[in-house]
Copies of this chain bind each other. A is one copy, B any other.
């Protein structure tokens, strides 16, 4: 399913969810950023709300579980509590975040980011695909003129809980039912520019070449070797590579590539980055090219709260489900919420670790377990 934020499909999906929320007796409220909230009162008006939910926008050619599972399970929690006439101490709020994926405006976690306070009025002037961001947000029922009112102050929530598919294969491989997220990894992103010399592929002896692709190729392999050279769950990826002039009969004169390193520990990322820098100097020297390795972006890690992690484990243990703690290698709205509230995330297994693909699949049993774990965690957190 392709439900890119602000598209017609996204708007249809949002209307569908709003309909379901109304049918469940909630009064949906769209905040100025376009996020959809549904609130249920608690018995103690002095307590802060427990917020839980996920997003429903997707990437092009995305799957049916990324975001949707957490959003619909949040609604399921509300329905279950209503059906069982359970009264919680804390007010409960479910949320369907708008614009989580980094497709529209090339910006990810865009609307939870606003709620966390990372917003300037000028951001509304960004243009993507000929559409102003203000108009995009207006299109989904937000109010860009009051965008700053979407912010929620730090400390105003009891906690934030998000259920999501793992999007990796760790739980499936370990045959574990429920993942307890320790935190969302930090990302150090580098741009590498390799400069060699474009020349005739027939007339230039091998010894006289300054082949930018040979250097870039060795650098890509070095990323893998350095990242796998020490124990741990760190990952490193060269996802983007372009060479020029990119003609079969011309030795590549230049190459541009991105390098992404991810781990929970920024310290480890720094160490890997230094190793990569040293290796790139060796590669440049041996290929007689130059390699500029520049830090492009740093995303800090977001830790999950110890309290919420324990609450998830208590909920899972009570149901006799196996659990394991693991980092989230993907970004989530939860990392924005971690800036203003204790945050926790529940993962359920993704078949084959496939995500952002029409082949994305989480078995129905695992979906149901996830929703039930979310309900249990909300109730556990309501007690503390």
Interface residues of chain A, those whose CB is within 8 Å of chain B, are 102, 166-170, 173, 185, 187, 189, 198-208, 211, 213-214, 216-218, 220-221, 224, 227-228, 233, 235-243, 246-252, 258, 260, 262, 328-331, 350, 353-357
Contacts and interface: CB of A to CB of B under 8 A. Distances in A.
**Which of A102, A203, A214 counts the most B-chain CB atoms under 10 A from its CB?**
A203
A337 to B, nearest CB: 18
Contacts of A216: 217
21 contacts: A102-B249, A168-B205, A169-B208, A199-B354, A199-B355, A200-B355, A201-B329, A202-B328, A203-B328, A203-B329, A207-B228, A213-B238, A213-B241, A214-B224, A217-B220, A221-B221, A237-B249, A237-B251, A241-B243, A241-B246, A241-B252
A299 to B, nearest CB: 10
Contacts of A329: 200-204
A314 B271 CA distance: 65
A227 B213 contact: no
Contact of A217 (B168, B217, B258, B331): B217
A223 B42 CA distance: 68
A331 to B, nearest CB: 7
Given A206-B227, A224-B211, A227-B206, A201 B249 contact: no
Contacts of A357: 198-199
A206 B228 contact: yes
Given A214-B220, A249-B260, A353 B240 contact: no
A31 B246 CA distance: 35
A185 B168 contact: no
Given A168-B205, A239-B250, 9 more contacts: A199-B357, A200-B330, A201-B329, A202-B329, A203-B353, A206-B224, A213-B220, A237-B248, A239-B252
Contacts of A187: 202
B240 A247 contact: yes
Contacts of A262: 201-202
Given A203-B168, A260-B201, A251 B233 contact: no
B241 A260 contact: no
